[in-house]
Every structure is written in C-alpha cells, then in structure tokens.
A and B are shown apart, each in its own frame.
Chain A
Amino acid sequence: MCMKDSNHIPLLKVKSISKYYGRRIGCSGIEFELWPGEVLGIVGESGSGKTTLLNCISGQLEPSEGAVWYASNGGVIDMCIAPEPQRRLVMRTEMGTVYQNPRDGLRMHVSAGGNIGERLMANGLRHYGQVRRKALNWLEKVEIDSERIDDVPTTFSGGMQQRLQIARNLVTDPRLIFMDEPTSGLDVSVQARLLDLLKGLVTELDLSMVMVTHDLAVTRLLAHRLIVMKDGKAVESGLTDQVLDDPQHPYTQLLVSSILQP
C-alpha cells in the first residue's frame, strides 16, 4: 500500500483482541492494522460483536485478551494497559467517537456551541471568544446554520444532531475517529448528505477512521478496507471493492447478495 511508504508505523495495531462476557463471546482473536489516512469498515449482522470490538479498541471497554497499540503524538502506547489519565488524555485530544445515538455523544441540555467547545475547554482553552469562534467555524463546516449555536441539541433534527456530534469530535483535530453506525436511524437523503460530509472531512483533514456499520453501501462509499465479522470472529478482510465484488467466505457472499438492487 502506498500509505506505508509515507508513514513507517501503523496508527493503530490491534493484536488478537478478545472480549468474553462470562462464557459468551463478544469478539475473539481480532487482528488488524490501521494506517494514517485509512478508513476501515467493520461490517456484520447485529450481534456479531462489531460494537464490542469498537469499544475495546477505543478504550471504552477493557478487552479480556489482546493489545491495542496506538501511535500517539507522544509515542506508541498500549491503550489496554496505559494509565487512565494518559488514556483519557489521548482519547479526548487525538481520538473521537461518534455514537449511533446522539444522546450518548452529546450533552443534550447544553447548547450546540457548548457541546463543540467542551473538548477545547477540557484541553485548557480559557478564552470565551476563541471557543465561540471555533464553534461557529465548525458549525459551518458541518453545515449547521450558525444561528443555531445557542440552541440545545434537543431542538435539532436527527441528522443535525449527528453532524453536531461529528463537529464536537473533530474540533480538537483528532487523528483517529471511531464511528458506531453513524448513519442508522437517518432517512436515506439525510444519510447521503452525512456521508458526503464525512467523505469530504476525511480527505480534507487526513483522518483515519474505524467505522462500524451494517450498511454495505456506506462502506462502499467511505471505507478503504473491510473486516467482515460473524459470531465474534473476523471471517474475511481485504480491500472494500475486493471483498464486496468477489466475496470468498459463504457468509460474506450471503451478506453481499442480500443487498437490494434498486
């Protein structure tokens, strides 16, 4: 891959991550590498362990086994054993998480500007005017009317809430974004706009992204590589077009053939 030439180490290296809920398997033995600027899609049916995997690698869930090496600005750290202050610092400066439900990712009783500004202020910005300017700037980038800066997210539509969540995460210029089903729950036209926006931001900001979704169309549009999960295991992985056009594993074949052709 050409990206390997410009950057010598992967941004994220996941070493046989497993998560067991008692005897039940959340995910087991997942391995992958994510290079700077790359978008990785994780697809699979519901209950296949996609979100568990995402939570494990984004530091929100402690995996039962395995390691997650992240090449932070301050050197490579293992997200699973790094001390909590360091992990949380990295998570709020260099990473971002966009949740399926905006209520998990936003403070619903805090205005849009406050939501965007929270990470800036958490990172030590103590100047109201600057927070305000950055918030307005980001509202514009995610195509929300700047007049809505003092409105609370409860008054926003689902698509706007999702875009606000993205702005809130990107305001600190993170390098890595985790997305958990960012487009589900939105109608098709809003989905298309959000994807368009995401695609623009990813190229503009040179973001790396791990995106969990059950929607193959979304991955086709955004992801460079795919991991197909079933029953907690990665059954197939490869370049997106390769996996979708020439699926090898019977489950992937089933998944691809189940898309409705308009």
Chain B
Amino acid sequence: MEKQFNRQSQTKSGRSCGMEGYNFAYLDEQTKRMIRRTILKAVAIPGHQVPFGSREMPLPYGWGTGGMQITASLIGSEDILKVIDQGADDTTNAVSIRRFFSRTAGVLTTTKTIEATIIQTRHRIPETHLTNDQIIVYQVPIPEPLRFIEPRAKEVSRMHALREYGIMFVKLYEDISRHGRIAKAFDYPVLVNDRYVMSPSPIPKFDNPKMDRMPALQLFGAGREKRIYAVPPYTKVKSLDFDDYPFEVERWPQCCALCGSNNSYLDEIILDDKGSKMFVCSDTNHCNERVIKGHKGNQKEPVEEAQNSTMTGARKCA
C-alpha cells in the first residue's frame, strides 16, 4: 500500500556500460538480425503472426521474453526505454526488465511516457497519446485469437489465410447468450487493416480504441509461442462486435482518488477487510503528472484516510 503513494518519477537513471562479456542488449547480432527481419515482415502484413526463432532469455516464459527480444533487437544506445507492467513503472516485471536493459545496453530509462522512444508494456497502453517517433512493444502470452475456439493449428492458419472469421463471432455470440453482453474484458479481439483478426495481448478492452490509427509503431512479441506481429503507424484497428451489441469500453462509478481523472483506466484497490476500496489510475505516470499539475482526487491524504477507513464510495471528483 505504502508503495502505491510513494511513486517517484525516477527519470533517467544513470548511464552505465554494457555488462562485461555480454553483447550490447544481451542478444547476439545474428539473432537480432533474424528478429529484425521478422519484424519487417510483420509490419508489411499488419496483424499477421510471423514465426521466429525465439531464444532463451534469462527469465521465464510468460514474463515478457517475446517483448524483450523485440526490444533488444531494436534498441540503440541513444534510445530511452520505458517499461510498464499493468500500467505501473514500479512493479516487479517492469523494474526487472528496465534494469536488464540499463545493465546490458547501458541505455537511459525513464518512467515518463513522452520521453521514451521505446515503451515495452505488459497489459496496458499508456494514457498519454503516443507519437510517431515512438515504438510500443507488447508482451504477448497467447498470440492466436482463435485458439480457444478452434484448437487445430492447421485449421486456424487456414482460417486466417482465407479470412474465415465467423468462428470468432461464435465466441462473442456465446458471451452474449450466456451473460447478456460481450463479457470479454481483456485481450478483446480486433480486426487489423480490414484483414487479419488479431489478439491485442491481454490489455483491457478500454485500451483497444487507442490502437486504432495510433501514430506509434506497435509490435507484439510472444516468446513461448515464437510469434511476432505488428500494427504499423496509422493503421485501422477495429474491435469485433455485433450490430446490435456494439463494442464499448469499461466505465467506473468514480474518478481516480489521487488525480481525479475521469477518462483513464482505473484499478480497484481494496483498502481493508471492512469493504473500503478506492479507484486509482492504473497508469502511474499519467496519475503522477496530473497530481504535479495540481489535479486532485477526492482523497487528499490517501494513506491516512485509508488507515482510518473513513472513505465513502460516492464522493464527487475535484
């Protein structure tokens, strides 16, 4: 809890040299070349999954090995890297990957979205609009959106090739018939460039509209599944839906308790065992920037209030 409110924007941690005995950014040059070739192909066919020879990385599959390999093969000494995990710069995954690249590539790192040239992310897209000189790298656990409904890989690749995506709508149909609405809240399937159905990685569907015609290059890496795919800048990305059940994003009953933002993705935080909770921005950088600019939420001293359990659910935003 304490940690949540002591976030510091630790900009530009010192520039150190690459680790002794390791190549720049860990991977050897041949591997980087192979991955860059894969990325080029992926960019050329937006949304299409391109296989690549995924390497062992010094952390387990599922921790972002795919994203790290993309970052490692793109990063140059002049780049500034930001790594987020669930929107936050200070969670384990983000901290360790950021440290990995500052040690193996000696690059500058930042927590500020606007400063970064490469942003590696797990589960979120930053709230700040990305620009066309930035690259966002997604960590992807399961790249195949059709897998859970059609387990045969051969059949699935044929469906992609022939653009037979009726089955994806069967999934949405099942959701509506069971829950009365499309219940998929993350990893919500999208149609890229009117051609390929793509898994946007487990970002909340709140972030899906941000992918549409995004000025930044979007790259997706799945290390275990050995796939890379991409959405080039300014490409159309449409979330799948029905005419009578249109796609919509999450809404919250409150604003961010810290910065009062009413248009960012909020995390629900349980404060005690008496049912008190607060909603705060999941994008820590966005939240901090707003607090610095003087925006306030309904909690001025969140830690003390939390301890006293005086929070009530329905307060007005600042």
Contacts and interface: CB of A to CB of B under 8 A. Distances in A.
A110 interface: yes
A117 B168 CA distance: 12
Interface string B232-245: 00000000011111
Given A88-B162, A111-B177, A127 B242 contact: yes
B245 A114 contact: no
A120 B242 CA distance: 13
A75 interface: no
B177 A126 contact: no
A212 interface: no
Interface string A124-135: 001111011000
A122 B167 CA distance: 7
A16 to B, nearest CB: 29
Given A118-B166, A122-B164, A127 B173 contact: no
B173 A131 contact: yes
Nearest to A124: B166
Nearest to A113: B177
Contact of A114 (B162, B173, B244): B173
B185 interface: no
Contacts of B243: 126-128
Nearest to A115: B170
A113 B164 contact: no
The CB with the most chain A CB atoms within 10 A, among B158, B174, B178, is that of: B174
B240 to A, nearest CB: 9
B114 interface: no
Given A88-B162, A88-B164, A128-B242, A150 B178 contact: yes
B156 interface: no
Nearest to B164: A122
A119 interface: yes
A121 interface: yes
A107 B245 contact: no
Interface residues of B, number: 19
A41 to B, nearest CB: 31
Nearest to A132: B177
A117 B173 contact: yes
Given A110-B174, A111-B174, A150-B177, A119 B244 contact: no
A147 to B, nearest CB: 13
Nearest to A109: B149
Contacts of B162: 84-85, 88
Contacts of B174: 110-111, 114
**Chief secondary structure at chain A's binding surface:** helix
Contacts of B169: 121, 126
Contact of A126 (B149, B158, B242): B242
B171 to A, nearest CB: 8
B27 interface: no
A123 interface: yes
A85 B178 CA distance: 32
B314 to A, nearest CB: 34
A196 B235 CA distance: 54
A107 B170 contact: yes
A114 B149 CA distance: 12
B170 A127 contact: no
Given A84-B162, A150-B178, A121 B173 contact: yes
A43 to B, nearest CB: 32
Given A85-B162, A110-B149, A127-B244, A118 B178 contact: no
A163 to B, nearest CB: 20
Contacts of B173: 113-114, 117, 121, 128, 131
Contacts of A129: 244
A114 B242 contact: no
Contact of A110 (B165, B170, B244): B170
Contacts of A131: 173
Given A88-B162, A111-B177, A150-B178, A128 B245 contact: yes
Contact of B167 (A113, A118, A128, A150): A118
A150 B178 CA distance: 7
A57 to B, nearest CB: 21
Contact of A117 (B158, B164, B170): B170
15 contacts: A84-B158, A84-B162, A85-B162, A111-B178, A118-B170, A119-B166, A120-B166, A122-B164, A122-B167, A127-B243, A127-B244, A128-B176, A128-B242, A128-B245, A132-B177
Given A113-B173, A121-B170, A150-B178, 13 more contacts: A84-B158, A114-B173, A114-B174, A118-B166, A118-B167, A119-B166, A120-B166, A121-B169, A122-B166, A126-B169, A127-B242, A131-B173, A150-B177
Q: Which 10 A-B pairs have the closest CB atoms?
A: A122-B166, A121-B169, A121-B166, A128-B242, A127-B243, A114-B170, A85-B162, A118-B170, A114-B173, A114-B174
Interface of A: 84-85, 88, 107, 110-111, 113-114, 117-123, 126-129, 131-132, 149-150
Interface of B: 149, 158, 162, 164-167, 169-170, 173-174, 176-178, 241-245
